[in-house]
């Protein structure tokens, strides 16, 4: 997801009675003090499924394949078959509407610069943050169709035959002639042998192409399409549920479409962050900048037969919200803070060098 930066530089308030600190309060429309309003993120999962669809179309002479060419087990009907090739898990940050705060800038503050993503997620204070790495764009469908047009390789006799049965008989005879010619070339017994190896290869390749085109009329054709599907999932608790379903005939379908077999997602918080102590709600809340301390979460995508993808990811909605002390932001200490826009955790906190 592309991010852009909004760098908000606000002058210190000069009205009387303003506290000399950076105030941060939960955002409520209409009563937020003038300042910078920002979100902490929650971590969103984007599960990308890459699947291949093979479409089989029977040939016009399928019913004669056994009689004339001894080809058995040729499907009678058109068949579409999907299979999963790959599953990848990506993470990105989206605004957590339960974690919206406003920074009120006071006279002695030294935090006038805030780096925000386009969606308003806080990324930096007193520094210019680097854009996060974007999730790769959805690949375009790739269609592979190497089929030939058999009519381009039919003789006039085949094309003018009075019935499908006669066309099939003549086409089979032409295939046998092609095979005999190729065998004679390979053995050096052809009436008109090529002058060199390169010419021999060219002649054999042409015969192979003719045979393949005519065989399509009996064996049928296949077209392959590779396509990607994205499923977005925002974990909120330990859970195992159906993420989507997959059908061999339809491909990836929604979780409520019973035409497919279920593909599950498992979410398990590893509790790498201690549970915060219960605080007295009547106690005045500390006014300073907030950040997430994300917990590690195990994610697994699987069905009854196999695990397609798994990994452990830090997530902002698991863990705690902590405070950056107001003493880090005054005119004597211009602290630089860099936050991860996917998790809301601190990536780097750089204190100014002491003056000599």
Does any domain span residue 88? no
Mean predicted confidence (pLDDT) in 57-75: 95
Q: Which residue has the tokens 């390749």?
A: 205
Does any domain span residue 207? yes
Mean predicted confidence (pLDDT) in 5-20: 34
- Distance, CA of 259 to CA of 273 (rounded, Å): 41
Contacts of 282 by beta carbon, 8 Å cutoff, 6+ apart:
none
**What confidence tier does 19 reach under pLDDT thresholds 50, 70, 90?**
very low
Does any domain span residue 171? yes
Mean predicted confidence (pLDDT) in 332-354: 83
Asked if 345 contacts 314 with a C-beta cutoff of 8 angstroms, the reply is: yes
Does any domain span residue 68? yes
Does any domain span residue 212? yes
Q: What are the residues facing 217 on neighbouring strands?
A: none
Mean predicted confidence (pLDDT) in 250-272: 96
Write down the pLDDT at residue 15: 32
Res. 143: pLDDT tops 90: yes
Q: Which domain holds residue 70?
A: 54-83+144-224
Does any domain span residue 105? no
Q: Report the share of the chain in percent with pLDDT over 70.
A: 80
Does any domain span residue 98? no
Does any domain span residue 126? no
- Distance, CA of 335 to CA of 350 (rounded, Å): 6
Crossing angle of helices 164-187/197-219, nearest 10°? Answer: 150
Mean predicted confidence (pLDDT) in 164-182: 97
Number of structural domains in the chain: 1
């Amino acid at each position: 997801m592309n991010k852009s930066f909004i760098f908000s530089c606000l002058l210190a308030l000069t009205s009387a009675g303003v506290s000399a600190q950076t105030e941060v309060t939960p955002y409520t429309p209409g009563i937020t003090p003038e300042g910078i309003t920002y979100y902490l993120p929650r971590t969103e999962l984007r599960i990308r499924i890459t699947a291949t669809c093979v479409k089989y179309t029977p040939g016009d002479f399928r019913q004669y394949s056994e009689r004339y060419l001894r080809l058995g087990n040729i499907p009678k009907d058109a068949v579409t078959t999907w299979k999963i090739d790959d599953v990848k898990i990506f993470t990105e940050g989206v605004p957590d509407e339960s974690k919206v705060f406003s920074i009120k800038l006071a006279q002695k503050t030294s935090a006038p610069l805030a780096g925000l993503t386009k969606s308003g997620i806080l990324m930096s204070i007193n520094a210019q943050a680097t854009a996060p790495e974007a999730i790769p764009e959805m690949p375009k469908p790739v269609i592979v169709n190497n089929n030939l047009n058999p009519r381009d390789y039919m003789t006039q006799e085949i094309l003018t035959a009075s019935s499908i049965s006669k066309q099939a008989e003549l086409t089979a005879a032409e295939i046998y002639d092609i095979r005999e010619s190729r065998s004679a070339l390979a053995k050096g017994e052809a009436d008109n042998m090529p002058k060199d190896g390169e010419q021999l290869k060219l002649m054999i390749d042409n015969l192979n192409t003719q045979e393949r085109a005519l065989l399509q009329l009996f064996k049928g054709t296949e077209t392959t399409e590779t396509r990607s599907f994205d499923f977005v999932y925002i974990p909120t608790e330990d859970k195992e549920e159906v993420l989507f379903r997959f059908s061999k005939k339809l491909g990836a379908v929604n979780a409520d479409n019973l035409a497919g077999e279920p593909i599950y997602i498992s979410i398990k918080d590893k509790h790498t962050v201690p549970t915060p102590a219960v605080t007295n709600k009547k106690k005045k809340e500390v006014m300073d900048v907030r950040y997430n301390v994300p917990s590690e979460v195990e994610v697994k995508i699987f069905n009854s037969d196999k695990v397609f993808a798994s990994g452990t990811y830090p997530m902002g909605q698991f863990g705690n919200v902590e405070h950056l002390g107001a003493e880090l932001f005054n005119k004597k200490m211009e602290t630089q803070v860099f936050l991860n826009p996917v998790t809301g955790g601190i990536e780097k906190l750089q204190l100014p060098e002491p003056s000599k």
